[in-house]
Amino acid sequence: MKQSRQTRAGSRVVSKYLANHAEPHLPPPPKTLTWNAVLCVPIYNESLSCLEQLIRFDDTLHILVVNHPEGSSTHLNTAFVDDLLNQYDHLEIAPNCHLITLCASSNRHTLLIDICAGTEGFRAAQGVGLARKIAADTALLWWSEGAIRNNWIAQTDADARLPSDFFDALNKLPESKVGAVHTFEHQTGRSPEHDLAMALYEAKLHQYVSGLLDAGSPYASHAIGSCISIRAEAYAVIRGIPKRAAGEDFYCLNKLHKLGQVATFQGGSPITLDARISTRTPFGTGQSVKAILNATDPTEYRLFYPPEAFEALGSLLGHIRNGRQTLETVLEGLPASSAEWLVARGLPNTLVHCRTHGRTQAQFQHNFHTWFDGFMTLKFLHTIAPPNDGLISLNALARILGSQSLSANQVQVRYRERCYTRLIDNWAN
């Protein structure tokens, strides 16, 4: 959606966010250039070759935030910045902020924000979340000043390959969508062992979202930071991206789901993610793949939720959906551990609040799901399947699904289909 510069700058929620919650010292937009789209990318210990697939979108500003955690080496980051500035024409528009012309005729530019220069780095607890926030805050500022014409703030990572029609597909989404998650797949072919680990991890991601869909959760989206886009004003409402070293995508989506509808969509193909082993974040893809590879038998490694966890979640959400509003009726049939946890987390008072402030059943349900959000959902599942010991292996899951011969890839495809056929209208693999 395109709005006038005056309308954007006059948006109260945007101006309030930029004044009170945005990161300090954001670079000002240029006076003579505008772009249709913006893509935000954190950069940490990457080589310049990673940009070949990212900076190919015409009429697009690519915001790169080069960052590092405090105490870590900046050698690779420095080489990245030097190589990029030596290869293209650029203008320093603020200290350590360079506007780089990739291709003038197709209006492709990069805004390079070098956080490494003259700083000790991010605190360990902030990491990639802060890098994403600096990029997105800048995108919001430039959008509010009219330098970015479209109101989507797209996020990705340096190891991602976006389809050529990514922005075309994103811009076709209804204005009612406050956020969007593009479909994804991980690159394979490094080795049979690596492909197995990646298939297991991706199957785990799809199984979780599929389980939420089965249970009727309104928080069913894939929390993949390199695939998330956010409407500009929605970004301001949720007060930006959480400054976390990992999991910032999960908490960001959690806020977006409370605000409005989050779409899952696909262009001509999924976003392809590099299945690299990485220690850039304390948990996530790289760390998980590494753990699976280190397992004696990956097919016996505990990764998946047992079906009874999602069945219990379905029972709870079904009670709410069917109009139950008292403590006894909402807890009926739930495992004792889950019921005790809900009571300890304040369910009795929550139900009173939902009834008091929800005159209709729809209002009651909205209030309940605001409390029982994506984070609470995850913790609820942990009451039945605690991390590590409460999870089950691929072999155990295959037996439950009725076929001991199911491979990791077959399970991955099964859950992927179950997710995307329900999340995307007319989806075809």
CA distance 317 to 369: 9
Q: Taking the CB of residue 236, how many other CB atoms lie within 10 A of it?
A: 23
Judge whether 19 and 11 are in contact, CB under 8 Å. no
Please give the structure tokens belonging to residue 267.
């262009």
Return the CATH class of domain 5-194+220-274. Answer: alpha beta
Both tokens assigned to 6? 């005056």
Residue 262's pLDDT is 97
- d(Cα 233, Cα 178) in Å, to the nearest integer? 8
**Backbone φ and ψ of 394, nearest 5°:** -60, -45
Confidence (pLDDT) at 250: 95
Contact at 8 Å (CB) between 151 and 1?
yes
94 bridge partner residues: 97
The model's pTM is: 0.93
Per-residue confidence (pLDDT) for residue 246, from 0 to 100? 81
Which pLDDT value is given to residue 359? 85
* Ranges of residues in the chain whose predicted pLDDT is under 50: none
- 274 contacts: CB under 8 Å, gap ≥ 6: 159, 160, 186, 187
Output Rg (C-alpha) for the chain, integer angstroms.
22
For residue 62, with 0-12 CB atoms within 10 Å meaning exposed, 13-18 middle and 19 or more buried, which class applies?
buried
pLDDT digits (tens, 9 = 90+) for 53-79: 888 899 999 999 999 888 788 899 999
Q: DSSP labels for 355-393?
A: HHH-SSHHHHHHHHHHHS-HHHHHHHHHHHS-TTTT-B-
pLDDT for position 249:
94
Q: What is the per-residue pLDDT for 9?
A: 55
pLDDT of residue 5: 57
Residue 40 CB contacts under 8 Å (≥ 6 apart), including other chains: 63, 65, 132, 135, 136, 138, 139, 153, 154, 155, 156
β strands within 190-242, DSSP E: 228-231
Q: What is the pLDDT of residue 220?
A: 98
Give me the pLDDT at residue 2, please: 57
Per-domain residue ranges for the chain? 5-194+220-274, 307-384
